[in-house]
């Protein structure tokens, strides 16, 4: 009982500080069946009864990955019924969605999960979706981003509140650790599920949790607390800097026909911290894809703008965008790709890393053995694809597009022209030559990175070995 009171107080305090809810709000609570989300539903229910009138909806997603999925759904259904809360179930065959989207398993699962939660919130006219991420999740996230070389925005970790499609995603547990939540469930006699894949260290987040953090705790027993404090400070300072960058944008940047122009003297007058953020903000406005916005490119623009000479230059920003300096004017815009690139490369287990010199990319292939379905979305983005290692016919050919190219995608009887997919996906013609095609040894197009994967060699429940293909930007100095 004492434990419950403490948790309620902590959550109410955070809710007031970050304006997570108001009286009579409707909140969709995402409940996986693990101890964190079971505790979240129970605590929010307690708050709705004793502290503030809230309407709760319990939402559970069955991803169809594991045999235990059906039992977990029933466990959550029973909990909702016991508390008298409406229950919503979303069922998805994630393995088949992976085949179609080319996303990693956790990436595909996350996308469908959020789609379902937001759609449920819209249906109930709910203000928010409550997620059960806790302090340990936050510490792991900050550490992973630190290792990845993230800037201040990344070090802010997961946000207490952010808006997606007019629905607020809220995380009331970010200051509460996992031990307290498991302890609460046990004290209250609440049934919960445990995911055995959380103990497999071949996945990056699990390795951070089970190996790296305990090792760091030997040097500083309060390292988790330090990471949480870093997230809190970085978050507040990041918001302040973002607001200032937006103000600079309004004052310094001239926008016309998809081009963003600024004057060198005005840019030089603002602090370097704002210069970097202003460049990043312009690139954000140019494109929704931030994968090409690395520090070195932003710094190249900044330094090139500040230096006296040369006064005329062009920088390829990647993603089909270019930054041009004409004396004292800097212009960001999409670039016209005048030349047609043509290339063919071979990728095999003996040559698993190939430089695609014509487009400044690197394609790699590596094997993953055994169960792969619980890899974390941070590890794999849309520029990675998974294939059944026993079904994929090697060697692979990485080549430029040819007239009449077709690909067999999920959900279609037959093939579709690659050109038509580009048109459907609204991929600008200037960007298309920079997208390679991956073909198997039989000549089938098996993957168009960032766009589609084919029906060939799809990863399924019985897959024993997985080949992970990844397309990345070349590192500086690799061009030669």
At 277, which CATH number? 3.30.465.60
Pair 388, 461 in one domain: yes
Pair 60, 156 in one domain: yes
Which residue do the tokens 């330090």 mark? 226
- DSSP-derived 3-state class of residue 430: coil
Pair 301, 265 in one domain: yes
Residue 245: inside a domain? no
Distances in whole angstroms, Cα of residue 105 to Cα of each of 99, 131, 395? 10, 20, 24
Residue 205, pLDDT score: 81
Domain range spanning residue 26?
A: 2-231
Tokens of 370: 């055994």
Residue 479: inside a domain? no
Q: Residue 435: is its pLDDT beyond 70? A: yes
Which residue do the tokens 């991803």 mark? 63
Higher-confidence position of 480 and 426: 426
Tokens of 159: 């946000």
395 preceded by a cis bond (ω within 30 of 0): yes
- Whether residue 34 is annotated as binding a ligand: the answer is yes
Residue 339: inside a domain? no
Task: Using alpha carbons, select from 118, 117, 54, 123 the residue that is nearest to residue 85.
Answer: 54
Q: In degrees rounded to 5, what are phi and psi of residue 356? A: -95, 85
The mean predicted confidence, pLDDT, of the chain is 88
48-62, 79-93, 365-379, 380-394: the lowest-pLDDT one: 365-379
Residue 295: inside a domain? yes
- Whether residue 152 is annotated as binding a ligand: the answer is no
Residue 270, pLDDT score: 97
- Whether residue 36 is annotated as binding a ligand: the answer is yes
Residue 35, pLDDT score: 95
Pair 320, 349 in one domain: no
Taking only the tens place, the pLDDT of each residue in 191-224 is 999 865 565 555 678 889 889 999 999 999 999 9
Residue 357, pLDDT score: 84
Which residue do the tokens 């090697």 mark? 394
Q: In degrees rounded to 5, what are phi and psi of residue 253? A: -100, 130
Maximal CA-CA distance, the chain: 72
Q: Is the pTM of this model over 0.75?
A: no
Average pLDDT rounded to a whole number, residues 294-303: 91
Pair 321, 398 in one domain: no
Residue 239: inside a domain? no
Per the structure, the count of domains in the chain is 3
- Whether residue 214 is annotated as binding a ligand: the answer is no
Is the separation of the CB atoms in 258 and 334 below 8 Å? yes
d(CA 238, CA 242) in angstroms, rounded, equals 6
Pair 326, 371 in one domain: no
- Whether residue 411 is annotated as binding a ligand: the answer is no
Is the separation of the CB atoms in 142 and 230 below 8 Å? yes
- Whether residue 33 is annotated as binding a ligand: the answer is yes
Question: Which stretch of DSSP H or E encloses residue 254?
Answer: strand 254-256
At 24, which CATH number? 3.40.50.620
Residue 287: inside a domain? yes
Pair 213, 131 in one domain: yes
Is the separation of the CB atoms in 37 and 31 below 8 Å? yes
- DSSP-derived 3-state class of residue 465: strand
Q: How many CB atoms lie within 10 A of CB 83?
A: 17
d(CA 432, CA 420) in angstroms, rounded, equals 12
Pair 221, 259 in one domain: no
Residue 390: strand pairing partners? none
Residue 221: inside a domain? yes
Residue 100, pLDDT score: 61
Tokens of 289: 């894809």
Residue 381: inside a domain? yes
Choose one of 312, 334, 356: the last residue of a domain.
334
Residue 67, pLDDT score: 63
Pair 61, 98 in one domain: yes
Residue 149, pLDDT score: 86
């Amino acid at each position: 009982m004492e434990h419950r009171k403490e948790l309620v107080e902590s959550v109410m305090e955070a809710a007031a500080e970050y304006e997570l809810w108001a009286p009579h709000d409707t909140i969709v609570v995402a409940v996986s069946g693990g101890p964190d989300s079971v505790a979240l539903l129970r605590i929010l229910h307690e708050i709705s009864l004793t502290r503030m009138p809230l309407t709760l909806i319990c939402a559970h997603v069955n991803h169809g990955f594991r045999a235990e999925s059906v039992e977990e759904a029933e466990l959550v259904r029973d909990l909702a019924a016991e508390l008298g809360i409406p229950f919503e179930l979303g069922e998805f065959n994630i393995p088949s969605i992976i085949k179609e989207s080319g996303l990693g398993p956790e990436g595909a699962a996350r996308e469908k999960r959020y789609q379902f939660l937001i759609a449920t919130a819209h249906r109930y006219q709910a203000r928010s979706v409550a997620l059960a991420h806790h302090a340990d999740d936050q510490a792991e996230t900050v550490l992973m981003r630190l290792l990845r070389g993230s800037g201040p925005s990344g070090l802010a970790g997961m946000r207490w509140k952010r808006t997606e499609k007019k629905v607020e995603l809220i995380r009331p547990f970010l200051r509460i650790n996992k031990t307290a939540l498991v302890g609460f469930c046990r004290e209250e006699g609440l049934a919960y599920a445990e995911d055995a894949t959380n103990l497999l260290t071949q996945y990056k987040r699990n390795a951070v949790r089970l190996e790296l953090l305990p090792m760091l705790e030997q040097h500083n027993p309060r390292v988790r607390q330090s990471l949480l404090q870093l997230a809190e400070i970085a978050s507040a300072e990041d918001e302040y800097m973002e607001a200032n960058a937006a103000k600079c944008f309004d004052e310094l940047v001239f926008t016309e026909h998809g081009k963003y122009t600024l004057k060198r003297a005005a840019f030089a007058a603002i602090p370097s911290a704002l210069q970097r953020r202003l460049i990043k903000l312009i690139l954000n406005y140019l494109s929704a894809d931030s994968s090409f916005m690395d520090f070195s490119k932003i710094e190249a623009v900044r330094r090139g703008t500040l230096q006296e000479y040369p006064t005329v230059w062009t920088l390829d920003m990647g993603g089909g965008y270019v930054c041009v300096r004409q004396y004292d004017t800097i212009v960001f815009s999409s670039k016209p790709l005048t030349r047609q690139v043509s290339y063919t490369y071979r990728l095999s287990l003996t040559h698993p890393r190939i430089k695609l010199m014509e487009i400044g990319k690197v394609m790699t292939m590596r094997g993953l053995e055994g169960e792969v379905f619980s890899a974390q979305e941070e590890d794999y983005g849309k520029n990675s694809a998974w294939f059944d290692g026993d079904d994929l016919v090697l060697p692979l050919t990485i080549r430029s597009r040819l007239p009449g190219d077709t690909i067999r995608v999920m959900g279609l009887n037959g093939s579709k022209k690659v050109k038509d997919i580009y048109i459907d996906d609204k991929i600008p013609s200037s960007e298309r030559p920079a997208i390679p095609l991956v073909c198997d040894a039989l000549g089938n197009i098996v993957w168009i990175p960032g766009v589609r994967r084919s029906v060939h060699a799809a990863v399924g429940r019985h897959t024993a070995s997985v080949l992970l293909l990844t397309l990345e930007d070349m590192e500086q100095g690799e061009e030669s």
